[in-house]
Structure formats: structure tokens, C-alpha cells
Structure 1
């Protein structure tokens, strides 16, 4: 088996890579939508989402140790699906094509929120949202072309800063007396979505755990992946889930769903709203929130850009993308692929309204990638024996089915009620991808 010990990321670095990727725009922005819709029951939404994404993370961990090559979103379907290598390559392309779209837009979306939080937290940056967004993309690009061991150490520091600032917010809400338990009653009926509103926002909460796949998708960078990948998944999920719950409970104890209903602009910055209104006696807290959000968004951009570039390299290794995407620097980094991701994300971040529209239109891509990955493990468990020393996910063959069913249940209402533009955009993107694939394959075969 490849890469038992050759990677540069140890267990700590793998944990912080996953945690840093997960803690980002979702908890600091989209969590407000879950609180508005579900009220205090949003707490359950984030717990349910964590359990679903943990199942998915363990599915990816087993696949990563079965097929230990970075770029898992492309590698897993390519290796596991189809009767021939060519068929498998097609399914790998279908999986990764949507992933490219979703991730590049996600980097741009996070960059826009870097500008948002800095502009509301520090008056000197007011009106500079777009320059700050583009600047954050450039900064993350420069960090991403560092040697992986150096990047891992830097990411450790950034994640430590995130954890410290989040804990300061949680503890301050309690010790200052701003937290009111009465805000949590009634538990289920406060939100705009009614008693079952907490179920409808589970897919939103799931986005906060999306980078649970980070080290599985860059498995070649991890030391002793058979041991460290599954451990990192479990440890990171535990830490992040506890931090999320602390942040959400603290916020709900200071501002209510009614407050978010009456102040729509605050739904995307709920922690800042709580600090600004209920922690006015602690004037520096709004700046702590802005710094925490900034660090979280930077680490998310860092991980997502890295994952996307490595997926591009994996595709290039099969010649489906030009050779330049597969070239690596002396640091072992696919610099050209990273540059392409950064340039596209920077261009999109010039258009904040367009970026948010693309995020909504590309909502199905994440679901499709999750479905493809679960199906890949189901197929792999049937076709290939578990390699010696590889990680075997708990519940065995039942786990990918459980993950698949839970993903479907949580997204079915959104899929059924989806806007026609979502389906048109998704279909159009895949039509373009398939046309490119056919042209490229014909060129390769000739």
C-alpha cells in the first residue's frame, strides 16, 4: 500500500487541517439562518448534522486508506465505479466537475465574508469589502504554495487562535450575565419554521462540517494515514461540534429568533449582533468576533483551495486536464492548479451578489459529491478486499448506506422544492462538463 509513513502532516496537523477547514463562514454567518428558522432547536440541527457528516467522514477515511492517493473526490469514484477504467474515469469526472464549481465559489464566498467581518468590526475598513476579499484570496494563495510541513504548522497557529477567540466569546456571554436561559424557552416553536423547523435547516448546518473530508482527500500528505486519518476525523469532529454548540447556545442566550426576524441584516452575522447588542459593556468583544471570524474564514479558504488544487492534480494525472495542472513545485505543491483556483476565486469575489447567487445555484453539487462518495465505498467493499492495515469504518457495509440514506432524507425537501434555476444551472454545468470530457477523451485516445 502507498504512503504508509511518507506524508508531512502528523496527527495534530491533520486534526487542525480538518478543524480549520470546518470552522468558517457557516458558523459565523449561516448559523444565524438556522437560529432564525429553528430558534433554540437549532442546537439539535447542528448535532444531527454532525452525526451525519461524521458518518460521511468515516466513509471517506476508509476510502482514503483503500485508495491512498490525494484528490479523493476524483480518485474514489474512478477506482471503485464502472466495470472498466474508462467507465470509472467518467464517474470520477462527474464527481469532480461539480466539486470544482462548488469549491471555487466557496473560496470566493468566504473571501467576501472576510471583507464583511473586517468592515463591521473595524471602521477603518468600512467600504473596502471587495479589496479585502481579493486581498484575502491572494494571502491564502501565498500560504498554499508553502511547503506542506510549514503550512501545517501555520494552520496549527491559526486554528489555536480560532479556538481561543471562540472560547472567549462563549465564556464572556456567561460571566457578564448577558446569557438568559429564558431565551431558550419554548425550545421548538420560537423559529420561523415552527416546531419542525430544526429539521429543515439540517442541510444548512451540514455545510459547517463539509471539510470533514479534508485529510481523506489529501491522504498522501498524511503520516501513517491508516491510523491518523480516521483518528483525525473523530477528534476534529468532536472538537468542532462542541465549539459550534457552545457558540450557538451562547448566541441564543443573548438574542432570540424574534430579534433575527425583526433585524434581517443581523441573520448573517449573529455572533457580531449578540456582541454588539448584549455585550455592549465589553466593547472589545465585537472585535474579538471579527478576528475569530477572520481566522476561521482564512483557514477554510486555505483548506478548500488546497483540496481543489489536489483534485485538479489527480485529474491531470489521468490527462483529463492539461499537464500543467499536475506539475508540482520543489515543495510538492501543484502551483499551477492552485493559481487557477485563486485567480477564479478572486475574479468571482469582485461580485458579492453574484457570488451568493452561485452558492445557491450550486447547492446540489455538494449533495451529488456526497452521494457519489458513498456509492464508491459500497462498490469498493463489493469489488475489492480490504487492504492489509487499512482502516475499516465502524458498522462495516452498513455505514455508507446509512450515510447515503441520511443525506437523502435531509436534502429531499430542498431537492423537491428547489428553484428551477438551481436545476437549470446544475444541468447546464454538467452538460458543459460532459462535452469537455468527450472532447478530451477523444484527444487522449488519439
Structure 2
């Protein structure tokens, strides 16, 4: 429950919300996730992408329905609390904050790796500090910056698609869809690729800053997801047509390697800049989403109450943003989190499992429950198809969060 004078300002329209969602999705994931996914799925990469898209679509529809009913900061943390009970809302919020904080550090290090590989950690910290300052100045400034980032990234990705498909090295025979790595490999690839789709949650977590949320959010989420899917499919087909699944799986920088193989080495620096800008866009949107969920959990007493403060001038959760910025900067300075994609995917899939379970309670008509059921089953399946280390660490983190909740309730009861 928000206190008088502590509400955020509603300034975002449909276009702003779509751009923020795209900034989260059409980001570093497409530059980084294709290689690991191809190694897992082999010739089944496109099938894995399709599975990830179906699960993401079901999640998006569930999130849109819930966001229209509960237009407050916090996303699935709020939905789970209202529809399933306090524990499930808390678990969703815990999964989101922990998983996405690791993702923030990973995106910051991606910026450093592309901008100045020899000083990746220093650049990563600088990026976190700069974007935290942007967010501190108000969500509208963040939307403007995200719009510019999305324009640059889409232009770079369009260049990659045109160059690859138009080159003599392109061969449609490399697009053969099979299951050479088995069903497990395809599902693991889908789980890894889901990392790149998960950004539409940012639209829902900003529900308290959207104008006319009952209309805006249900329109913005499927629009952002649809655009991202078209972009991902085009890029995947273009890169596969040049490198094939084997070459793509071995590529350290898939899109840069693809344009080089397509006979356009001059485009490689442009792709590197695009990847850095994309990572900045993802980092900006991630910090926004994590800070808003932190705000919602602090309001309910699950995190220190001071984090619920809203700046009187800028109308942003400034203490939550600063706290998130400090933690992410510390991780980016000291830890190599390039393997955090799997862990982040596990946490986000757990988050959306709660969203689908919450949406299932909205109506009893069988047709209305198909999407939430498919989304829930898909989230659980993909979560446990991820690499073993990600599953073990993710499960342990959820268990720690659940134990902390139980201890807090026990102390309060005494």
C-alpha cells in the first residue's frame, strides 16, 4: 500500500512503454545468446527460438491481463501477492530482484568487453554509475535515452540481416530444422533464448508510471514482444545462413563473425558498437525494473522501509535506484558474471511461473486458462532444462529466499 505523497508520476504512453520493452529485449541477448543456444540445440536452434517465443507470448498475455487490473510498481510481485497470497508474491519478487541484479552486472560487463576489453570492469562500473544517474533524473529521461538506443540497435541489426542474406556466402540449406542435439538440447536452447525475450516485464513493473494503464499496458506488451520476435527471427535466419549451426555455436561474437564471413569486415566495428549500445539499453531498463520491484517489496516490509522513498522532485524511487546501482557496481567491479545468463533465466522463469499461476485465477472459462497453463508448464519445463549449475544455484537461491520469508514471519508472530 502506497502512502500519501509517495506515488510515482504517470508520464509514459503506449509508445514510451513499447520502447522501454524493446530496449530490454532487443539488447545484448541477441548479440550474446545465439552462440550458447546453437551449441545446445545444433540444427534445432530455430525450433528452440520458436518454443521460447511461444512461452514468452503466453507469459506476456498473462502479464498484460494482470497489469491492467493491478497498475502498480512491482509487476508479478504485486500480482502474486493479490491473487495467490503474500508468500508467492514475495517469491516472485525475490526471483526477479536477485536474478535481474545478476543480469545487470552481466550487461555492464558486456559493455566493458566491447568498449575496452582490457579494462572491462572499470568501464562496466562507469556504465552503471552513468545509467543510475540517468534513472535518478526521472523515468521520462530514461524513455528518451532508450528510444535513441533502440533506434541505433535496430539499424545495426538490419545491416547485419541485409549483409548476410545478400552475400554469396549465404546458403538457405544451412537453415535445415532438425533435432540433432535431441529434445533436451532444444529445450535448453529455448531456456537460454528466453533470456533475450524477458524484457517485456519492464513494462509491467513500471505500471505506476504509465498513463491509462488498463489500456496502455495490454497494448504495449504484445506490440513490444511481436517486434522483438520479428527481429530475432530475421537475425537468426541471416546468421545461420552464413555460419550454419556449427559455426554459430563456435563463434565468440556471432554477429561480428557472421558479417566477416559474409565478406563485410568493415561492418565488424559497427556491430561491436551496436552490441555495446544494446547492452547499455538492456542495463538501463534492467535497473529501472529492479528498482521498481525493490520499491514495491520495501513498501510491504519485505525489504528495508527506507527503500520505499520517492524523490519529491523527480518522482522516482531514488533510494531503491541508488541501492541497486551500488550492488550492481560492486558485482561488476569484482565478479565475472558472463555465465549469469542461465541463472538469470532460471530466476525469470520462476517469476513468470507465478505470473501465469496468478492469471489462471482470473477466470474459470477453459479458453481463458489455456494461455496461463501453457505458460506455466513452459516456464517450469524450460527452467529445469537449463544447464545443471544454473538449476542447482537457482533452486538454492529460491530456497534461501523462502527461508528468509519464513524466519521473518516467525519473528513477527512472536
Contact 1:10 1:222 in 2 (8 A): yes
Equivalent residue in structure 2 for 1:287, among 262, 269, 278: 269
Correspondence list, 1:313-352, <5 A: 313-329=295-311, 330-352=313-335
Q: CA deviation at 1:395?
A: 3.9
Q: CA deviation at 1:147?
A: 1.7
Q: Distance in 2 between matches of 1:158 and 1:394?
A: 41
The equivalent residue for 2:6 is: none
Q: Distance in 1 between matches of 2:186 and 2:398?
A: 32
Q: CA deviation at 1:59?
A: 0.2
The equivalent residue for 1:134 is: 125
Unmatched segments (≥5 aa) in structure 1: 82-87, 119-124, 383-392
Contact 2:68 2:218 in 1 (8 A): no
Pair 95,194 (structure 1): closer, same or farther in 2 beyond 3 Å: closer
Q: Distance in 1 between matches of 2:265 and 2:344?
A: 38
Q: Distance in 1 between matches of 2:265 and 2:50?
A: 31
Contact 1:165 1:292 in 2 (8 A): yes
Is 1:26 matched up with 2:29? yes
Contact 1:52 1:407 in 2 (8 A): yes
Structure 2 length-normalised TM: 0.89
Contact 2:34 2:248 in 1 (8 A): no
The equivalent residue for 2:100 is: 103
Q: Distance in 2 between matches of 1:294 and 1:316?
A: 32
The equivalent residue for 1:204 is: 192
Contact 1:95 1:372 in 2 (8 A): yes
Provide, for residues 305-351 of structure 1, a one-character-per-residue CA deviation record: whole Å limited to 9, x for no partner: 11111111111111222221110112111111111111111111224
The equivalent residue for 2:375 is: 403
Q: CA deviation at 1:20?
A: 0.8
Unmatched segments (≥5 aa) in structure 2: 3-8
The equivalent residue for 1:387 is: none
Correspondence list, 1:35-434, <5 A: 35-81=38-84, 88-118=85-115, 125-184=116-175, 186-188=176-178, 193=181, 197-260=185-248, 264=250, 266=251, 268-279=252-263, 282-329=264-311, 330-353=313-336, 355-361=337-343, 363-381=345-363, 395-414=367-386, 418-419=388-389, 422-423=391-392, 425-434=393-402
Q: Distance in 1 between matches of 2:378 and 2:302?
A: 33
SS in 1 for 2:73: coil
Pair 195,91 (structure 1): closer, same or farther in 2 beyond 3 Å: closer
Q: CA deviation at 1:206?
A: 1.4
Structure 1 length-normalised TM: 0.83
- Matched positions, count: 407
Q: CA deviation at 1:41?
A: 3.6
SS in 2 for 1:253: helix
Q: CA deviation at 1:52?
A: 1.5
Contact 1:173 1:250 in 2 (8 A): yes
SS in 1 for 2:246: helix
Q: CA deviation at 1:438?
A: 4.7
SS in 2 for 1:377: helix
CA RMSD in angstroms, aligned pairs only: 2.7
Range moving further from structure 2, 215-224 or 403-412: 403-412
Q: CA deviation at 1:431?
A: 4.7
